[in-house]
Amino acid sequence: GDSVTQMEGPVTLSEEAFLTINCTYTATGYPSLFWYVQYPGEGLQLLLKATKADDKGSNKGFEATYRKETTSFHLEKGSVQVSDSAVYFCALRGGGFKTIFGAGTRLFVKA
Amino acid sequence: DAGVIQSPRHEVTEMGQEVTLRCKPISGHDYLFWYRQTMMRGLELLIYFNNNVPIDDSGMPEDRFSAKMPNASFSTLKIQPSEPRDSAVYFCASSLAGADTQYFGPGTRLTVL
């Protein structure tokens, strides 16, 4: 079945460092891909998405490109801030209405 | 616009008691999802509804768990009897058919003593 694998955390960075969180997926067909973010004490919220190969999703300085050839959707940000500290979830939605979430990667950004 | 509303935000109960969690989806959304989040197991989909009808309940862990959606604006997740291993954060989410994005509520943190 469909699945999502993302890098284990926690990831600890200093402010203004470059961020990459790896995500790979297994799916039949052409799924939509997402990154959700969960801030402490809150529910998940959509950060960005891409619906077809080579699409780039972007929001709040974060970017991810849908790479069908490598089945990947890595999250990147050029300069992280303390306020980016959160848990990041990679996810996919295939043909049905279930969204498959990865295990989440916790990011700590130090001032 | 009001987002997904969940109540209560926190619930502490004793083992064996009945627990009812409530969710109000975003108006107009026709899909509703219940998730459970724990440190050990991450985010798990328990059940989801379309137009108030349960579509997939394969994630419901045991018969002690049940969910209903009597109308388009209200859903409940009930645990009877509750056990300490049910302690988790329970999220409700809703979405619109044809749209990819799910909108999550703030969650209910359940502690079973």
Predicted confidence (pLDDT) per residue in A74-107, tens digit? 999 999 999 999 999 999 988 777 888 999 999 9
A46 contact B CB<8A? yes
Per the CB < 8 A criterion, the answer to whether A50 and A69 are in contact is no
Q: Do B91 and A43 touch (CB under 8 A)?
A: yes
Q: Rounded distance, CA A2 to CA B27, Å?
A: 30
Q: What is the CA radius of gyration of chain A?
A: 13
Q: What is the mean pLDDT of residues B26-51?
A: 92
Residue B98's pLDDT band (cuts 50, 70, 90): low
- The pLDDT, as a whole number, for residue B31 is 93
- Rounded to 5 degrees, φ, ψ at A84 are -85, -5
* Ramachandran sector of residue B49 (left: φ over 0; alpha: ψ -120 to 50; beta: rest): beta
Which of B43, B56, B103 shows the shortest C-beta gap to A89? B43
Q: How far off is chain A from B106, nearest CA to CA, in Å?
A: 5
Q: How confident is the model at residue B27 (pLDDT cuts 50, 70, 90)?
A: very high
The yes-or-no verdict on residue B1 having pLDDT over 70 is no
Kindly state the tokens that stand for B81: 């009897």
CA distance B9 to A50: 32
Nearest-by-Cβ selection for B106 from A34, A42, A97: A42
Q: Which of B32, B55, B100 to mutate to test the interface with A (most CBs of A within 10 A)?
A: B100
What are the C-alpha distances in Å from B33 to residues A18, A36, A68, A90, B17?
A: 34, 16, 28, 18, 24
Nearest Cβ partner for A45 among B45, B104, B107: B104
